[in-house]
Amino acid sequence: MVRKIFTITKRDIKSGLRDYMILYIIIAPFILAVVLRMMTASVGLTTINVAVDKSIDEAFIEYLGQHVDIEIFENQDDVKNRVNDTDDIFGLVKQSDSYNIIQQGNETGGGIDVLDFIVNSYENQDLELPVEVNISDVGWRLSPFKQFGGNLLTIFVSVFGGMIILMNIVEEKQENTLAAVSVSAIKRIEYVIGKALLGFILPIVHAFGILAILDYGDINYIMVSVVILSIAVISVIIGFVIGVTNDNILGAISSMKMLFVPILGSIFGAIFLNSKWHFLLYWSPFYWAFDALNSIILQTATWSQILINSGIIILITAIVFMMLSKRIKRGLS
């Protein structure tokens, strides 16, 4: 039985390698992780961007450069044009003995006030302040951008395994090999497990790779495996359902596209929504996976939390499976 299962898996890998798709799917997440790592290396936390012209003297530019990111332009008009650009950047020009801070008006956050204080603190440097300001920290070196970015990437690519299953099934249908399999000595269950194996192996390989590339330090990879395996189940099921219910690749690919909405929706929701709104996401297995991975990355995860979250994911999956198992059976026969 095991040998037959592996035969099916091996055949899928072989046909995937023949047209590079599997290679793409295997390599792409690692490339994205490297890109993310490069991006997070330069972002400690977003700072304020300021466009200045030649009216600002060198000493002040140097002072500003210690606090904000600076772009230097020839004249005031160029500064204004830059401020009018799509991203958030303020302008700063000198007029006789005062400074003019230029904003577009739609900038986010309180950047304008901060810049105002910084410019004034330069001009009022000689004042004797009756206060002292110190900056210290609690020694946490992981930026939110990296913390959430790696997590998002890991969960997002966990569906790639399902995608491969789906593509393989659709391809088999098109080439009529499915009918050939049904008259061979392979039982349906062996065939299904053989097909599904890839959907479990890939997400684990990806998750380990992405988390290692982003280097979160000493995280518990056994916990990672448990969470990823439980989330892989749902991708595998979805891969099967879409695969067996679509006779052509067009419907299959557009159905796969549909999956992206709940995945991205629940993850962005978990990041940006105030915690009092999180109950709105409880239906989504991807939310629970994100929540568990987040704790693992922050190194605050406990086994009870991981098991509870994975349990919820499996429970939701079981409900989905019960609703769809008939369709899978029908599609495979």
Partner 1 sequence: MMKVLYTFLKDLKVSFKTFYIYIEIIMALIFVVILLFVVPEDFTSKEVLYVHVDSSIESNFITRELEKHDDQGVVFLESRDEIEKVLEQDRNSVGVSISKDDDKVVYDIVLQGYENPKHRNMIEKSLVGYLARELPEYKSVTEITTLNNYSERLTDRINLLPMFLLLNSSFTGLFIVAAYIFMDKEEGTIKAFAVTPAKVWQYLLSKMGMMLFTGFLTGIGTTLLVARLDVNYFYLALLLIVTNAFGTAVGLFIASFYDSIIKAMGAIYVVIITFAFATISYFVPSFSPFIIKILPSYPIIFAFREVFLENPNISFIYYNIAGFGILAVIFFIWANNRFKKTLTV
Ranges within 166-225 binding partner 1 (CB under 8 A): 167, 171, 174
Q: By CB under 8 A, is residue 49 in contact with partner 1? A: yes
* Largest separation between any pair of C-alpha atoms in the chain: 91
Rounded to whole angstroms, how far apart are CA atoms 28 and 32?
A: 6
Helices 303-332 & 221-245, crossing angle to 10 degrees? 20
Sign of CA dihedral 22, 234, 220, 2: negative
Q: By CB under 8 A, is residue 323 in contact with partner 1? A: no
Q: By CB under 8 A, is residue 304 in contact with partner 1? A: no
Q: By CB under 8 A, is residue 83 in contact with partner 1? A: yes
Number of residues that bind partner 1 (CB under 8 A): 96
283-305 per-residue burial string, b: 16 or more CB within 10 A, e: under 16: ebbbbbbbbbbbbbbeeebeeee
262 burial type by CB count under 10 A (0-12 exposed, 13-18 middle, 19+ buried):
middle
CB 163 within 8 A of CB 117: no
- CA 278 to chain centroid: 18
Q: By CB under 8 A, is residue 57 in contact with partner 1? A: no
Q: By CB under 8 A, is residue 58 in contact with partner 1? A: no
Please pick, from the candidates 21, 181, 308, 332, the single residue that binds partner 1 as defined by CB under 8 A: 21
Rounded to whole angstroms, how far apart are CA atoms 61 and 99?
A: 13
Q: By CB under 8 A, is residue 97 in contact with partner 1? A: yes
Closest among 14, 302, 260, 255 to 152, alpha carbons compared: 260
CB 79 within 8 A of CB 54: no
Q: By CB under 8 A, is residue 43 in contact with partner 1? A: yes
CB of 45 to partner 1, least distance (A): 5
Q: Which parts of 237-276 interact with partner 1 (CB under 8 A)?
A: 246, 248-251, 253-255, 257-258, 261, 265, 269, 272-275
Choose the binding region for partner 1 from 5-13, 45-53, 211-219, 285-293 (rule: CB under 8 A): 45-53
262: which residues sit within 8 A by CB, 6+ positions away?
A: 284, 286
Please pick, from the candidates 67, 204, 219, 305, the single residue that binds partner 1 as defined by CB under 8 A: 67
Choose the binding region for partner 1 from 81-89, 177-185, 214-222, 230-238 (rule: CB under 8 A): 81-89
Cβ proximity to partner 1, 209 vs 265, nearer residue:
265
Site string for partner 1, 103-142 (x = CB under 8 A): xxxxxxx-xxxx-xxxxxx-xx--x-xxxxxxxxxxxxxx
Cβ proximity to partner 1, 14 vs 187, nearer residue:
14
